[in-house]
Amino acid sequence: MSIVVFDIETRNTFQEKGTNNPADLDISIVGVYDSATDTYTSYAEEEFKDMWPIFEHARTIVGFNSEHFDLPLLDKYYHGDLYQIKHVDILKEIHSQFGRRMKLDQLAEGTLGIKKSGHGLEAIKWWREGAIDKIRNYCLDDVKITKEIFDYAKANNVLKFKEGGRVMDIKLDTKHWDKVEDAGMTASLPF
């Protein structure tokens, strides 16, 4: 059983759809890190059949703002229930333990000393331009940052964020992140 870190880019915005429900948006690319193979891969919608087994064999899935955004959106494409897999949303953990939300870029800069390679609105623009490789690269960059932040937090029980020129600590209790749970996941693969 592996740990899967994931991120999603969309084809459209909430404003265009006239909703604030993530499940009403459309996915352009899903980026995935699979600890079982130590690989990063991206998937367009027509490739999801190759992605589902990775999620189905995960003991834990990890994202950033994924409980509110990525998971509801991805679950609408899946024939099972992705909510049955243990899930760690790093932003939710920060909010519950530190009392506020922040951007992935703030954590990347404070904890890792790097900046994100773009932002979600650029990915939508690239989708419209047919620049799928740019979306894949950007999405996988975010997956790499999320994975490194996850690993750092587990090893140190702290993350750092940059704000107003200062680097500050976020103390985290990550013991439950590794706790194995029997989720009772059912496979979507045909037999």
Mean per-residue pLDDT, 63-89: 95
The CATH number of the domain covering residues in 2-177: 3.30.420.10
Burial of 184 by CB count in 10 Å (0-12 exposed, 13-18 middle, 19+ buried)? exposed
Whole-angstrom Cα distance, residue 69 to residue 78? 15
pLDDT above 70: residue 9: yes
Domain boundaries, the chain: 2-177
Residue 154 has a pLDDT of 96
Q: What percent of the chain has pLDDT over 70?
A: 94
Give the predicted TM-score (pTM) of the model: 0.91
- 52 near 75, Cβ under 8 Å? no
Amino acid at site 37: T
Render pLDDT for 144-191 as a digit per residue (tens, 0 to 9). Answer: 999 999 999 999 999 999 888 899 999 999 999 987 765 544 455 443
Structure tokens at 3: 């740990």
- The chain-wide mean pLDDT, for the chain, equals 91
What are the DSSP E strand ranges found in 12-97?
27-34, 39-43, 58-63, 86-89
